[in-house]
Structures are given as C-alpha cells and as structure tokens.
Amino acid sequence: DAKTTQPNSMESNEEEPVHLPCNHSTISGTDYIHWYRQLPSQGPEYVIHGLTSNVNNRMASLAIAEDRKSSTLILHRATLRDAAVYYCILGQGGTSYGKLTFGQGTILTVHP
C-alpha cells in the first residue's frame, strides 16, 4: 500500500487558516487522496477526497500538487471544534475502497 507522511502535530489560532500537509511520493495513478479527522472520543469523520484536481466542500479545501506527490488540506478559518487528529489516506476507488490504511495522522491544536 502506498504510504503517506504527515507532521505529528500542528498548532493554529482560532479564526486563522490552517494548512495541513501530506506527502505521498509513491502514489499510483488510481489512488484517491482522502482526508478524515477524528475528534476526541469519536469515530473518524470524512472531510474530503480528490484524485487530481483541487476540491472544495463546506468543511475544507484540498489542494493537490501537479505531480500528485503531495497534497494540503486547508481549513479556511479554524475553530475550536476543528481540534482533532487529521488523517491523510491513499485509497483506490471501486471495490477496494473502504479498506483504508490510516497512519498516525496530525494532531491539530487550535488556540482561542
């Protein structure tokens, strides 16, 4: 399985943008890039996914490098509720999707 590399932790101030990086140099052409987050005492929550183009949804934006070897999850205005562990995961679509390989993720701390 292709692997991802994320910083162990990051900090942000409330209402400021947050850029969470992810390196995936061994990504294959069919791998989607998924982001999930896990709030304390809860199960993971889907944030966003993409294949080649940048993606936006109500929660976040996903910026994918042109060579697809890295990506960045962007939270436009961090709130205290965004404090969580953020996981960047590579996975294929189709029948293999759902068998996700989570790493240790990035612990995001948001300061008031």
Partner 1 sequence: DTGVSQDPRHKITKRGQNVTFRCDPISEHNRLYWYRQTLGQGPEFLTYFQNEAQLEKSRLLSDRFSAERPKGSFSTLEIQRTEQGDSAMYLCASSFSPGLGPILVSPLHFGNGTRLTVT
45 binds partner 1 (CB under 8 A): yes
Residue 7, interface with partner 1 (CB under 8 A)? no
Residue 64's CB is within 10 A of a number of other CB atoms, namely: 20
Q: Reduced to 3 DSSP states, what percent helix, strand and coil does the chain have, rounded to the nearest 5? A: 5, 45, 45
* 21 binds partner 1 per the rule CB under 8 A: no
Nearer to partner 1, 6 or 12 (CB): 6
The neighbour count for residue 47, using CB atoms within 10 Å, is 20
Residues 74 and 68: their CA atoms lie apart, in Å, by 16
Binder of partner 1 out of 42, 66, 67, 112 (CB under 8 A): 42
Q: Which of 32, 61, 63, 72 binds partner 1 (CB under 8 A)?
A: 32
| Minimum distance of partner 1 from residue 38's CB (angstroms) | 8
Contacts (Cβ under 8 Å, ≥6 apart) of 14? 78, 79, 80, 110, 111, 112
Does 102 bind partner 1 (CB under 8 A)? Our answer is yes
- Is 58 a residue that touches partner 1 (CB under 8 A)? no
